[in-house]
A and B are shown apart, each in its own frame.
Chain A
Amino acid sequence: MTAIVTGARETGRSFSDRSPIARAYRRFLGRSMLLMIALIIIGAYLLPLLYMATTALQQPGQSTTPGSPVWPASPQTATYQGQQYPVYSVPMPDGSTRSLILIEPGRESSTFVDPSAANPTPIEWQGRWRTLQQAWTFSPLLENFTTAWNQLNFPQLMRNTFGIAALSTLGAVLSSVLVAYGFARFRFPGKNLLFIILIATIILPFQVTLLPQYIMFTRLGWNGTWLPLIIPHCFANAYNVFLLRQYFLTIPRELDEAAMIDGAGPFRILRSVVVPQSLAAITAVSLFHFFFAWNDFFVPLLYLSSKPDLQPVSIAIQEYNALYATQPTLIQAAALMTMVVPIFVFLLAQRAFMRGVVVTGVDK
């Protein structure tokens, strides 16, 4: 922001500058350099994602062929006597290289056929076929996506996942803001102890409380509904409260006091001072909870195992993963598709992030 502010001032002056074009060029150069650096770092960081995308576009079985390229490809083939055979570049004894199809592989000599010949006859070739270059053609298989889409019933999964994630995010964020405000701005007996207990609830591994909770929710008749995935989150969650409290504590108290002098009560201070000052943090918390709920796996599995109609996408992906363990192409295509909605949500939330910046900048 420093640079934005100073930059703006400088631009204002730059009309009288002697070489505005040179300055603009230098600034453009700086920005491009920065963008380049960022892109290189992020590119390295996301390299496995490229691997994922490549896998999702590959022909099934491509990766099990020794010497297959990394890009999505299918072996070039040609037909001989009604059967398909792979094409190889074969160096011939006369020094030339021919594109031949391998019809009968052997360790030290193999039988090839020239598919382009008018009257193909088998050619006995001395040498090891494994050392030959196989011909591949670039052929991304978009069908992986449609197959996964059809097998997984995506529209229903998306509706379920979005429903669970949105409802529990709403409950979690609203309650967490209120509780964090309580911890950050009010003095009451036992506050420190309560705060330690709050942190402690993060620390307890979920596996231990799983069984007692399962018994409780089953007795409540919540098994097989979304309630165990939503209601417990509506009473603030330690991660969110802790994070929001840390932010609220960075907001100078003078702002509260000014509002108080104007006659504002705690709710109005929360609404008009604390929340606007920490929109970025609240957005962050909302995103975290949304993505947590989006990917939450074991708890939905436990409570929705008997209700496939209500299951979110994380369970479906896990099952899909088990069913098609030997077909990474389909698994990765499915996983990539699950990312579409979250990315959209993230980009929307980005705007709130930017607004958070503006508010902070103007108010001070």
Chain B
Amino acid sequence: MLLNRPSLTRLAALAASAAILVTACGGSTATQSPSAAAAAAAAATPTAAAATAAATPSPTPLITAAPISNDQPGPNGGVVVRWFVGLGTGGQPQQIATQQQVVNDFNNSQKDVYISLEIQDNKVAGNILKTEIAAGNAPDIIGPVGVEGLNLFIDQLADLQPLIQSQNFNMTKFDPSLANFFKMGKGGATIGVPFAVYPSFIWYNKALFDEAKLPYPPTKVGDLYQGKPWDMDAVRALGMKLTVDKNGNDATSANFDPNNIVQWGFDMQWADNSPLAESSLFGASSFLAPDGKTAQVADSVKTGETWFDNGVWKDHFIPNQNQINSDLLAKGNEFQSGNLAMDETHTWYACCVNPAPPAKPIVKSFGWAIAPSYNGKITAKLHADTFAMLKSSKHPDAAFKALAYLAQSGALLTAYGAYPADPSLVQGYKDGVDKQYPDSKLDWSVPQQMLGYVDIPNHQSWVPDYAKAKAAWQAFGTGYRTSASFDVSAELDKLKATLQGIFDAAPDKNP
């Protein structure tokens, strides 16, 4: 293949650069151009760097120090290890500064390894990483990255087991189920070390409950709400009372105007239009049957998505796609807008309840409540983050050293709003979040309890050709939120057939 012949490309490159020198830019009249360009490019670095230092009084600089080549030693004399951020969290303004600080501390503390930080916006990070991998220019470490991100790059991830042993990385401090959580690579390879877990539960806006004179939802598993079980029916009834139109009618009123809603009762924010995520409240499932090749749609998905569909179009307590993207719901950050009463989401959302400064918080005080049950059973979906290493890394030992350091950084955990997998770091994390939201007086027993009700199988677990399969179920997830006449059960049958087609055509059938 043409791409794999470096000699040919190099020859072409040589010819090209020679020719550029000779012909210059477009004939004799334009001789200035290329040399000027090269000079400008060369000169731009120091001056621009100086300008950065001088002209950035900002508390949240958007840019980070330029990474340096992987082949030469870094400024501290150590082996350069490239750390790629952007596949998951890590791109928020408040997080960037912390990450840079963590890296600087590491680089100044020893002389063996130099971490070079590369932060990409989440929307383009996947593409950049793919291009770098395909061009043989991949970073050494990626992360923080969740199960979904790992699925997408599973073929490229290194087995960390040998390094965990050779460098004596302590795995015993973790809960055993967590220690084994990332044994999800090819042939059971360990592709990550436990870093952070993100249990999910209900976040509620206290002001909206107060206004409706309604009691807050329960914080202990087994507690009743207004004398009835805290289940999906209770959420529906409560959600409708908390959904209000501009005249002050709630969704249970006969005068309610669904075209002028100004406040909604419930949603599962930033669930990526995933039917599995939404329906996890009704029970965990996968689109892949245990045989590893058959597509399936579990009953919980049918029940759950029908509940959501009715919630949007019949009972109106869940916003539709257009309302989510409107100004009233802060263009997608629904809970932040102050116009959503209950939001089922993960601990990572501690990042974003308040808008980034200088904007002032809209939600003055919020609370945490346990996830509702369905048929007496609670399922609170779980996200987990780790750092992974690419197989292509030229310096696996140095890379793992850096990885181990990052995976044990308390500062990073706080910046990501990540519930630490390491029990000894939990208190520091709690203090960090409490400091961020002093008025909310958060009940930490809620996330702790929810860790006992996680979704197995995980709603992001691997299926063949994950990216394409995801696009298919997202089309369903967006479909019912967009159109009132969407037939959930027929479309789910269609989705199953589509997924079967994708699984059958997948180039790579086994994880």
B30 within 8 A of A: yes
A56 within 8 A of B: no
Q: A63-B327, A107-B211, A156-B51 are in contact. Are A309 and B355 (CB under 8 A)?
A: no
Of A211, A236, A329, chain B has the most CB atoms within 10 Å of the CB of A211
CA distance A171 to B327 in the complex (A): 44
- Residue contact B333 to A326, C-beta cutoff 8 Å: yes
Distance from A33 Cβ to chain B, minimum over Cβ atoms (Å) = 38
- A residues 160-177 near B (Cβ < 8 Å) are 160, 163, 167, 170-171, 174-175
A63, A66, A171, A175: the one contacting B262 at CB < 8 Å is: A66
Inside 8 A of B136's CB, which chain A residues have their CB?
215
List chain A residues, Cβ under 8 A from B56.
Answer: 150, 153
Question: How many A residues face the partner with a CB closer than 8 A?
Answer: 71
CA distance A329 to B17 in the complex (A): 46
What is the chain A residue whose CB lies nearest that of B92?
A: A323
How far is the CB of A165 from the nearest CB of chain B, in Å? 12
Asked if B26 contacts A234 (CB within 8 A), the reply is yes
Residues of B within 8 Å of A326, CB to CB, are: 330-333, 336, 352, 355
Partner of B6, one of A167, A211, A219: A219
- Contact call B44/A163, Cβ cutoff below 8 A: yes
Collect the chain B residues with CB atoms within 8 Å of residue A327's CB.
Answer: 355-356, 359
Which chain A residues lie closer than 8 Å to B212 at the CB level?
107
**CB of B134 closer than 8 Å to a CB of A:** yes
Q: Of B25, B263, B332, which is within 8 A of A325 by CB?
A: B332
A61 near B355 with CB under 8 A, answer yes
Given A220-B16, A234-B30, A325-B333, also A64-B49 (CB < 8 A): no
Q: How far is the CA of A325 from the CA of B269 in the complex (A)?
A: 15
A215 vs B44: C-alpha distance when bound (angstroms) = 24
Are A150 and B57 interface neighbours, CB within 8 A? yes
Q: A130-B244, A160-B44, A219-B6 are in contact. Are A106 and B211 (CB under 8 A)?
A: yes
A226: contacting residue among B27, B41, B263, CB under 8 A: B41
Q: Would you list which residues of chain B between 28 and 69 have a CB under 8 Å from chain A?
A: 29-30, 32-34, 36-38, 40-41, 44-45, 48-49, 51-52, 55-58, 60-64, 66-67
The answer to the question of B246 belonging to the interface, with a C-beta cut-off of 8 Å to chain A, is yes
Considering only residues 161-209 of chain A, those with a C-beta below 8 Å from chain B are: 163, 167, 170-171, 174-175, 178
Interface of chain A residues 77 through 121 with chain B (CB within 8 A): 104-107
Q: Does A361 contact B (CB under 8 A)?
A: no
Q: Is the CB of A211 within 8 A of B134?
A: yes
Measured between alpha carbons, how far is A84 from B36 in the docked complex, in Å? 59
Q: Most chain-A CB neighbours within 10 Å: which of B3, B33, B246? A: B33
Interface residues as binary, B482-503 with A (CB distance below 8 Å gives 1, 0 otherwise): 0000000000000000000000
> Residue on A with the closest CB to B358?
A147
**Roughly how many angstroms separate A159 CA and B55 CA in the complex, as a whole number?**
13
Contact of B25 among A174, A215, A316 (CB under 8 A): A174
- Of B41, B131, B247, most buried by chain A (CB within 10 Å of CB) is B41
- Are B135 and A322 in contact, with the CB atoms below 8 A? no
Q: Does B228 contact A (CB under 8 A)?
A: no
**B121 adjacent to A171 (CB under 8 Å):** no
Query: In the complex, how many angstroms separate the beta carbon of A196 from the nearest chain B beta carbon?
Result: 22
0/1 string, B117-144, CB within 8 A of A gives 1: 0101111100010010011110000000
Residues of A within 8 A of B (CB): 60-61, 63-64, 66-67, 104-107, 128-131, 143, 147, 150-153, 155-156, 159-160, 163, 167, 170-171, 174-175, 178, 210-212, 214-216, 218-220, 223-227, 230-231, 234-236, 301-302, 305-311, 316, 318-320, 322-329
Question: Which 6 A-B pairs rank lowest in CB-CB distance, beginning with the nearest?
Answer: A175-B26, A128-B248, A60-B359, A308-B63, A66-B262, A63-B327
Q: Beyond A66-B246, A214-B131, list 17 extra A-B contacts (CB 8 Å).
A: A61-B355, A63-B327, A66-B328, A106-B211, A151-B62, A159-B48, A170-B25, A171-B25, A174-B25, A175-B27, A220-B17, A234-B25, A301-B124, A308-B63, A309-B52, A309-B63, A324-B356
Q: What residues make up the interface of B, taking CB atoms closer than 8 Å to A?
A: 2-3, 6, 9-10, 12-13, 16-17, 20, 25-27, 29-30, 32-34, 36-38, 40-41, 44-45, 48-49, 51-52, 55-58, 60-64, 66-67, 91-93, 118, 120-124, 128, 131, 134-137, 210-213, 244, 246-248, 250, 262-263, 327-333, 336-339, 352, 355-356, 358-360, 362
* 7 sample A-B contacts, Cβ–Cβ < 8 Å, listed by A number: A143-B358, A159-B48, A178-B29, A215-B136, A219-B9, A220-B17, A318-B124
